[in-house]
Amino acid sequence: MFAIDGNRLNRRLAEFAEIGALPKGGVNRQALTEGDRQARRMLAGLALARGFRVFQDPMANLFIRRSGRDETLAPLMIGSHLDSQPAGGRYDGALGTLSAFEVLESLEDAGTQTDRPVEVVAWTNEEGCRFAPGCMGSMAFAAGAIPEEWADKQAADGASFPQELAATIESLPEAEMRPLGFPVYSYIEIHIEQGPSLEAENIPIGVVTGIQGTRWLEVTVTGQTAHAGTTGLSYRRDPMRALSAALSGLYDTIMPEDENARFTVGRLRLSPGSVNAIPEDIRCTVDIRHPDPDSLDALEAKITAAFSKEAGRQGCTAAIRRLFDMAPCTFDAGLQDRIEEAASSLQMPSKRMLSGAFHDALFANRIAPAAMIFVPCRDGLSHNEAEFVEPAHATAGCRVMMQAVRTLTASENV
Amino acid sequence: MFAIDGNRLNRRLAEFAEIGALPKGGVNRQALTEGDRQARRMLAGLALARGFRVFQDPMANLFIRRSGRDETLAPLMIGSHLDSQPAGGRYDGALGTLSAFEVLESLEDAGTQTDRPVEVVAWTNEEGCRFAPGCMGSMAFAAGAIPEEWADKQAADGASFPQELAATIESLPEAEMRPLGFPVYSYIEIHIEQGPSLEAENIPIGVVTGIQGTRWLEVTVTGQTAHAGTTGLSYRRDPMRALSAALSGLYDTIMPEDENARFTVGRLRLSPGSVNAIPEDIRCTVDIRHPDPDSLDALEAKITAAFSKEAGRQGCTAAIRRLFDMAPCTFDAGLQDRIEEAASSLQMPSKRMLSGAFHDALFANRIAPAAMIFVPCRDGLSHNEAEFVEPAHATAGCRVMMQAVRTLTASENV
């Protein structure tokens, strides 16, 4: 029997949730902050205590390696991320990272020998809310280089990406430095579904077939600031009126007309921001998702047209630029089969499903066969302090991962 | 001939515009900031150099007094404010304050004796954008007390109102302290129209009959933050969708249906403010104006109903509270006649008009006969760096003020 310790896993989840803890049970552990560094140090500490080797690369991706029979073989990689949303949940990322570490510890506890090394990874900045885009760590790993333009990235709080990255790497001196990118045998990531379907259908395991495409747009509507009390309608060029009309129309059509489409405005600022002055300009983000690349193009065109039209009607101008563009991906069919077989060998119901969120597995999939295991979360809530995973579901996902890892590494107890 | 020095007035306007100067010619001299203090010190310095007495009260209202024949008589008060919007123009407030000071200097230059003292006032925080509401200085002066709840006021930048007020008072030690509120004979304020009508009709002088009512509302729409990619339409409680729908409907009806109504959303913040998370809650301000008090009530009811309905449709809740409520006011008929007579005696066309903006004169009107003189501004632009007043118009307004002051104080050169 290939056991994992579910109590240890759930205890670890609670311990890591104390780093950046928020009053309602969530965490604020945004990428490259002190909280993020603290979580990386805690995981590295646990790993070194078990005699595993700890590495980090120039993107501060964190690796924990357990040797295999043949050290020259490319490692099987398992993991996720440790950073969070500003008001995020305690399972998003942490569940996959700590489940992977639980697998490594259980292999060690059982004295199991794997044919190849197994490595746990915690990717840097999956969330992308402090420094956009998301998945910077796995993206750079898959590309084998850090894009030059990232050197200019600044957080809303004014922090500089290169400085925060360097400080994060320096905060873990016990990790051996390693170049960016290396051969990987296969990659498996456990993650909460972040949607309602597994819970609704009472299925503990989701075998993820792929990830829908994501595009982030930045919309700027520019009008003319003027006095709120004296400026009559014919003299107004109000960007807020244009924005409201455009958004209202888009909310009423995009998602109601296509159940696979997602349309979200999550960030908005207007200036000068005075109660008695018409705004001069407004800037907001638009997050659109779709499993079909052509539909993503159609959505972007529809959004651009709506803002141009409503801005024109109010004597304003609209400018739209892409912040981020992630094409849909399809995971490795063989790995999907291994995960499904692992679940059924443990008498766990599973179902194949598409991921609505992007994940680091999308980028790992570019350099190695990759796949994901989803577990249910309460009410489908994520990016929310109320995010919750039943301990039994966390344990179940980890057991399936262990089973798949044993199969993929021809493991034997020696 | 009762002369004023138009060149000196326009030179002073340029000098004060250097305090808090912005690149496009405007000023950022928000209430109780260092820029505001600097402007008060400059005016006090000019006054002391001319031998006038300088006072301030516990609200940091600044007074410059020129003695009259009978010092026991209540002073004739003239003035305006020195604070600005975050991206404001150089004439809003400064024109009225410096015109009043020009009248005082011209009386001194001519050795004119007035039957009663004449005082120039610079009221504190007319704009209300850093600390709401507007007109705090004249409001407290008219009430004879500072409302207790103002002790808790905080600026968006975190600054505390009581601390900034105390620091502003301390920054002008040469001013004699004076209690809040005292008898005033009459009050006259010059201000730019902040609207297009005088310029459009080519009339240099507006005799202001009253001020339309203003109400500031704070709207909070609360939904539920969730993942942008995984949360399907039926699981969404998106406050941004509710807000867009409500605002779009209100923009399309309130001002188009009633030319006397004003509807402006000038400030908005949403949280948590992450590109890939549905917002949890959104807070925005609504500025509504109308000359008729019943119409103001109707507007507020319509706005409340719209937000409640759209919030309900999206599974969100809407809460609305009043930040500020200023009833319409009517200025003193006799003073309006004096101003009109002064203009015609100088062969200047004038017209009676309602003010779309509120002004300190609205509060002065509660304790003494008050009136206002409007001068044209280019394109009706205000609360905008592009705000501009023809030097000849500034001079003309000041000449009318001087004429009215001489009549009201039975002045004679001695």
Q: For residue B154, give the 3-state DSSP assignment.
A: strand
What pLDDT, on the 0 to 100 scale, is given for residue A414? 61
- Please give the interface size between A and B, counted as residue pairs whose CB atoms are below 8 Å apart: 254
The CATH class of A213-326 is alpha beta
- What pTM was computed for the model? 0.75
| Contact flag A240-B216 (C-beta cutoff 8 Å) | no
What pLDDT, on the 0 to 100 scale, is given for residue A257? 97
What pLDDT, on the 0 to 100 scale, is given for residue B230? 86
Whether A189 has a pLDDT exceeding 90, the answer reads yes
Tell me the mean pLDDT in the region A170-177. 97
Q: Does B271 touch chain A (CB under 8 A)?
A: yes
- Which of B229, B273, B381 is closest, CB to CB, to A357? B229
Chain A residues with CB under 8 Å of B252 CB are 245
For all residues of chain A together, what is the average pLDDT?
Answer: 95
Spatial CB neighbours of B157, under 8 Å, sequence gap ≥ 6:
B130
Distance from CA of A176 to the nearest CA of B (A): 33
CA dihedral for B66, B69, B72, B76, sign (positive or negative): negative
Q: Which H or E element spans position B105? A: helix B94-109
Stretches in chain B below the pLDDT threshold 50: none
Chain B residues with CB under 8 Å of A230 CB are 193-195, 355-357, 380, 382
Q: Which residue has the tokens 């912040």?
A: A323
| Contact flag B227-A86 (C-beta cutoff 8 Å) | no
Q: CA-to-CA distance for A120 and A118, rounded, in angstroms? A: 7
> Which of 274-313 (B) contact A at CB < 8 A?
274-280, 285, 287, 289
Kindly list the distances between the CA atom of residue B27 and the CA atoms of A70, A386, A399, B18, B42, in Å, as whole numbers in the listed order.
71, 45, 65, 8, 16
What pLDDT, on the 0 to 100 scale, is given for residue B414? 60
What pLDDT, on the 0 to 100 scale, is given for residue A412? 74
Q: Which H or E element spans position B218? A: strand B213-222
Contact between B381 and B193 (Cβ < 8 Å): no
Whether A402 has a pLDDT exceeding 90, the answer reads yes
Q: For residue B154, how many other CB atoms are within 10 A of its CB?
A: 12
Instruction: Identify any residues that bridge with A142 across adjacent strands, giving them in sequence order.
Output: none
- Which of A248, A275, A379 is closest, CB to CB, to B266? A275
Q: For residue A182, how many other CB atoms are within 10 A of its CB?
A: 16
Q: CA-to-CA distance for A141 and A137, rounded, in angstroms? A: 6
Burial code of B248-262, b = ≥16 C-beta within 10 A, e = fewer? bbbbeebbeebeebb
Contact between A412 and A112 (Cβ < 8 Å): yes
- Place A235 in a pLDDT band, splitting at 50, 70 and 90: confident
What pLDDT, on the 0 to 100 scale, is given for residue A131? 94
| Contact flag A86-B274 (C-beta cutoff 8 Å) | yes
| Contact flag B383-A277 (C-beta cutoff 8 Å) | yes
Chain A residues with CB under 8 Å of B230 CB are 193-195, 355-357, 380, 382
Q: CA-to-CA distance for A180 and A313, rounded, in angstroms? A: 50
Whether A333 has a pLDDT exceeding 70, the answer reads yes
- Place A382 in a pLDDT band, splitting at 50, 70 and 90: confident
Q: Does B84 touch chain A (CB under 8 A)?
A: no
Whether A245 has a pLDDT exceeding 80, the answer reads yes
The CA dihedral of B24, B29, B33, B39, to the nearest 10 degrees, is 120
Whether A1 has a pLDDT exceeding 60, the answer reads no
Domain ranges of chain B: 6-211+330-413, 213-326
- Assigned fold of B6-211+330-413: Aminopeptidase (3.40.630)
Contact between A79 and A372 (Cβ < 8 Å): no
Contact between A123 and A80 (Cβ < 8 Å): yes
3-state secondary structure B248-292: HHHHHHHHHHCCCCEEECCCEEEECCCCCECCCEEEEEEEEEECC
**Model confidence pLDDT, tens digit, residues A140-168:** 999 999 999 999 999 988 999 999 999 99
**Model confidence pLDDT, tens digit, residues A47-84:** 999 999 999 999 999 999 999 999 999 999 999 999 99
Q: CA-to-CA distance for A208 and A335, rounded, in angstroms? A: 10
Instruction: Identify any residues that bridge with A317 across adjacent strands, giving them in sequence order.
Output: A222
* Residue B230: closest C-alpha in chain A: A356
Distance from CA of A180 to the nearest CA of B (A): 27
3-state secondary structure A9-77: HHHHHHHHCCCCECCCCCECCCCCCHHHHHHHHHHHHHHHHCCCEEEECCCCCEEEEECCCCCCCCCEE
DSSP 8-class letter at A386: T
The CA dihedral of A322, A323, A328, A329, to the nearest 10 degrees, is 140
Tell me the mean pLDDT in the region A257-286. 96
